[in-house]
Structure 1
Amino acid sequence: MRQDDLMTSLYRTHERGLVPRAEALARTALFPRLRYMGSKYRLIPHLSSVFEEVGGGRALDAFSGSGVVSYLLKAQGFEVTSNDFLDFPAAITSATVVNQSELLTHDDVRTLIGPPADDRDFISRTFDGLYFNAEDRAFLDSAWSHIDLLGGAKRHIAISALVLSAARKQPRGVFTFTDSSRYADGRRDLTLTLREHFVERVAEYNATVFDDGQSHTAVVGDIADLPPSDFDLVYLDPPYAPQSDDADYMKRYHFLQGLAVYWEGQEIMATTKTKKIIKKFTPFAYKRTIVDALSRTFEQFADAGSLVMSYSSNAVPDAATIVSLLRHVKPNVEVHPIDHTYTFGTHAAATRRSVSEYLFVAR
């Protein structure tokens, strides 16, 4: 029996309960890594253990980010609703969680990397001299000329692959600087063209697709607008409000946000060096508004079976405050501290900071 058939058989065998943790972790290990602030790739074993212990059938990943936790939840057997206020996370979860069977074929890829379907040049013009060379920028325009002709999951896979290609090619994966020459250290991700990246990234996303026989949902929106529904598990991984500055995802990932929608409906700040998009306000990003935002969110999902939340020891508020807020809606609150090292940058001299990552489990 082929491995894909074996895995499909396994998921159907456990369709009325959670999939064994080891099998879910093996599946999740296939998920492509997007460099993303606060990403939970390294914490997946801890999260899977908590999710398995909490149990249930329907789960909400309210701040989906890189998409890996939504994918883990699907791999563990939950029916998943995935939400984020940016568009590219929703494209990723649409491609990997909602999608049950569609793949980009070799013919699809040949078309996507082939001659352009029209003469668009928005990226080439708007980002002239920024981030990528002329060949790479022209490829992004050309790829989108074909993506606009796609629909359904194939479109989502293509967008996800394009986003991941840009993130891998850009040093550190963030778009807060325009001169990447100081990071030109010969790493493979920096030397591949975006066209070459795209072919590899499509293969990675294709490999994540599996049918678990359930219906999943990907949403782009503010968490405050989500209906509480009847979730058994609500996983919260909000931006970690720092002691100073803010947790501004748009500032760091504006290019990925624009690329996911070909900048449709996005307002570029033309006078900025990075050509960033006007950021969306979120109360979770600021220390002056985070406590009220958390309190409102806990109240919103008070009827869920369990609330599981990730938060960092170097963010505001502290663990004691979060426990107090959770106890207003759930009688039992557990705190699991996990030693964790965040890496700021991907080059050899990158700054690494050890912190405790807290997992709060309220039920």
Structure 2
Amino acid sequence: MTIAEHPATPGSVDLALQQVARFPRLRYMGSKFRLAKPLAEVFAAAGGGTAVDAFSGSGVVSYLLKAQGFRVVSNDFLAFPTAIAEAVVVNQGVRLGDELVARIAGEPLDDRDFIASTFDGLYFDADDRRFLDSAWSHIDLLDGAERALAISALVLSAARKQPRGVFTFTDSSRYDDGRRDLRLSLREHFALRAAEYDAAVFDRGAGHAAHCGDVAELAVESPSLVYLDPPYAPPSDDADYMKRYHFLQGLATYWRGQEIMPETKTKKIAKRFTPFAYRRTVEAALERTFEQFAEAGTIVLSYSSNSVPDAQTIEALLRRVKPSVEVLPVAHSYSFGTHAAATRRAVSEYIFVAR
């Protein structure tokens, strides 16, 4: 039985995980790709019709929920996770195809040079930067699922080409470990990543939605399941996603509506405050979010043991809105970077299940 033939009811963990294996992996801080199996088991036990993925990030959990038969509402405050959700969660059957991919990767339709000039000397060579401008000359003529797929493939291309997948440094040669991804041009990457996204498209029925905005503004009436994977506030520093992925955010929007900070070496986009990223504000933010989704059938929260607040505090906050709270620790290793010398830290990834 294929995933498309499977009844549209939550469950069938093995079939869902087979589908998730096709998901194009984006290097993303806190991605839950490696935790798909325990999450799928929790979701299957919870059951229900509508699932909210309130901090969709890499998109893999929204994709998993769709594969399990939930009607998914995906949300993130960044634009490129929203494009990914539109491409492979909301979209049921549209694909780019070889002909359209070749057009996007072909000659430019105009003489735009925003990326080539703004990021001169940064991240990619001149040919790659010109390609990004050229690709957008075609993407601007697309809409709907085709546009979302093209943006997602372009974002994934840039993330794969950039060492470590983050844009917090200007000397990429420091992290050049010889991987093939670093040798391919962005034009070559785009053809490969577009094919990956086309292969990831599957039909699970209509009714899915993707939103780009603050979780506090997300209104879904009595969902069966709410999955929360907010930024994990570290004991020191912050969990600033815009700082790490500003280029991907800009690329997904062609920097429209984004405020570039010209004085920064990396040409960062101005930070958008989120209370989840800081130890002094995260506890109150979690409490408000739990109250916001108190009417959901089940609240599932991912959180890390090396973050604040601690598991006991989170459990106590959840018990204010749900009578039953189960805490499932899952051994997990986070990699700080993707290069060969990257350090890894073993932690417990807590899965809180509140009913």
Q: TM-score, with normalisation over the residues of structure 1?
A: 0.97
1:220 aligns with 2:222: no
Higher mean alpha-carbon deviation, 288-297 vs 182-191, is at: 182-191
Q: CA deviation at 1:228?
A: 4.1
Per the alignment, residue 24 of structure 1 pairs with 16
Contact map agreement 2:113 2:130 (CA 8 A) in 1: yes
Per the alignment, residue 295 of structure 2 pairs with 303
Contact map agreement 2:3 2:67 (CA 8 A) in 1: no
Contact map agreement 1:268 1:277 (CA 8 A) in 2: yes
Q: CA deviation at 1:182?
A: 1.9
The count of aligned residue pairs is 355
Q: 1:9 aligns with which of 5, 11, 16?
A: 5
Q: CA deviation at 1:18?
A: 2.1
Q: CA deviation at 1:213?
A: 1.6
Contact map agreement 2:232 2:304 (CA 8 A) in 1: yes
Q: 1:319 aligns with which of 308, 311, 333?
A: 311
Contact map agreement 2:177 2:340 (CA 8 A) in 1: no
Per the alignment, residue 81 of structure 2 pairs with 89
1:263 aligns with 2:259: no
Q: CA deviation at 1:178?
A: 0.7
Aligned-partner residue type, residue 309 of structure 2? P
Contact map agreement 2:87 2:152 (CA 8 A) in 1: yes
Aligned-partner residue type, residue 45 of structure 1? K
Contact map agreement 2:55 2:74 (CA 8 A) in 1: yes
**Post-superposition CA distance 1:276-310 (Å, at most 9, x none):** 00011000000000000000000000000000000
SS at match of 2:177: coil
1:335 aligns with 2:327: yes
**Post-superposition CA distance 1:135-190 (Å, at most 9, x none):** 00000000000000111100000000000000000000000001011222221010
Q: TM-score, with normalisation over the residues of structure 2?
A: 0.99
1:80 aligns with 2:76: no
Contact map agreement 1:64 1:89 (CA 8 A) in 2: yes
Distance in 1 (CA, whole Å) between partners of 2:224 and 2:57 is: 21
Q: 2:346 aligns with which of 340, 354, 357?
A: 354
**Post-superposition CA distance 1:176-234 (Å, at most 9, x none):** 00101122222101000000000000000001111112310000000000114120000
1:180 aligns with 2:180: no
Structure 1 runs not aligned, ≥5 long = none
Q: 1:36 aligns with which of 28, 40, 65?
A: 28
Per the alignment, residue 254 of structure 1 pairs with 246
What does 1:67-146 align with in structure 2 at a 5 Å threshold? 67-146=59-138
SS at match of 1:159: helix
1:237 aligns with 2:229: yes
Structure 2 runs not aligned, ≥5 long = none
Structure 1's 102 and 228: CA in aligned 2 closer, same or farther, altered over 3 A?
Answer: closer
SS at match of 1:91: helix
Distance in 2 (CA, whole Å) between partners of 1:316 and 1:230 is: 28
Percent sequence identity is 69
**Post-superposition CA distance 1:290-331 (Å, at most 9, x none):** 000000000000000000000000000000000000000000
Per the alignment, residue 292 of structure 1 pairs with 284
**Post-superposition CA distance 1:65-111 (Å, at most 9, x none):** 00000000000000000000000000000000000010002110111
Contact map agreement 1:228 1:300 (CA 8 A) in 2: no
Higher mean alpha-carbon deviation, 249-258 vs 208-217, is at: 208-217
**Post-superposition CA distance 1:4-43 (Å, at most 9, x none):** xx43223xxx12x224111010001100110000000100
Q: Name the Cα RMSD after superposition.
A: 0.9
Contact map agreement 1:309 1:360 (CA 8 A) in 2: yes
**Post-superposition CA distance 1:42-82 (Å, at most 9, x none):** 00001000000111110000000000000000000000000
Distance in 1 (CA, whole Å) between partners of 2:65 and 2:281 is: 29
